């Protein structure tokens, strides 16, 4: 019996057939499947170099963007689950979410902090854009990417509280 694949394994399998085709297009930027796969693998290596392990949760404080999609795949490749922190949520809810799920690391869109938003977490916020583009390197050599399966946690979702 063939086991179901993970999200990132399914993506990588499709990428092999679509290398030069556009995977993401945001109007001012686009990535091919090969570029998205490379960027997400770079993010996974960065996370592993910062000690993120299989089963950890990684916070993602970002608007919708190409880098956010690459981060989602990278977090899964690192064996972790992603926790999206919606910038539109109230600070009190964001703080509760962070305390409740205790992410091992926060990937942050720098423009959100530059706009005056107070961090709702303690510790560093890792610059999502710099990590995605490879200008930020981890302090340690990246551990190999872990084997993951369909029963591993993929994400932790919170609602705004209105439902």
Q: What is the pLDDT of residues 19-37, one digit of tens each?
A: 899 999 988 899 999 999 9
Token pair, residue 21, equals 């085709």
Cα Rg, the chain, nearest whole Å? 16
State the Cα–Cα distance between residues 122 and 141, nearest whole angstrom: 25
Band the pLDDT of 3: cuts 50, 70, 90.
Answer: very low
pLDDT tens per residue, range 123-148: 889 999 999 998 988 887 777 888 88
Residue 162 pLDDT grade (very low, low, confident, very high; cuts 50, 70, 90): low
- Paired residues of 83 in beta bridges: 59
Give the span between the Cα atoms of 83 and 121, in whole angstroms: 13
Show the domains of the chain with their CATH numbers.
Answer: 7-133 (3.40.50.980)
- Percentage of the chain beyond pLDDT 70 is 93
Place of tokens 């001012």: 28
Question: Which residues touch 122 (CB under 8 Å, ≥6 apart)?
Answer: none
């Amino acid at each position: 019996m063939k086991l179901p694949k993970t999200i990132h394994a399914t993506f990588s399998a499709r990428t092999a057939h679509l290398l030069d085709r556009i995977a993401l297009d945001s109007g001012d930027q686009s990535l091919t499947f090969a570029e998205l796969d490379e960027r997400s693998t770079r993010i996974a290596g960065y996370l592993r170099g910062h000690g993120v392990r299989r089963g950890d949760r990684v916070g993602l404080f970002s608007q919708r963007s190409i880098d956010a999609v690459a981060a989602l795949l990278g977090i899964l490749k690192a064996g972790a689950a992603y926790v999206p922190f919606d910038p539109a949520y109230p600070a009190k809810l964001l703080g509760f979410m962070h305390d409740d799920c205790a992410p091992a690391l926060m990937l942050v869109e720098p423009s959100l902090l530059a706009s005056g938003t107070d961090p709702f977490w303690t510790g560093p916020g890792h610059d999502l854009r710099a990590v995605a583009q490879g200008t930020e390197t981890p302090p340690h050599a990246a551990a190999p990417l872990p084997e993951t399966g369909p029963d591993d946690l993929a994400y932790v979702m919170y609602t705004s509280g209105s439902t």
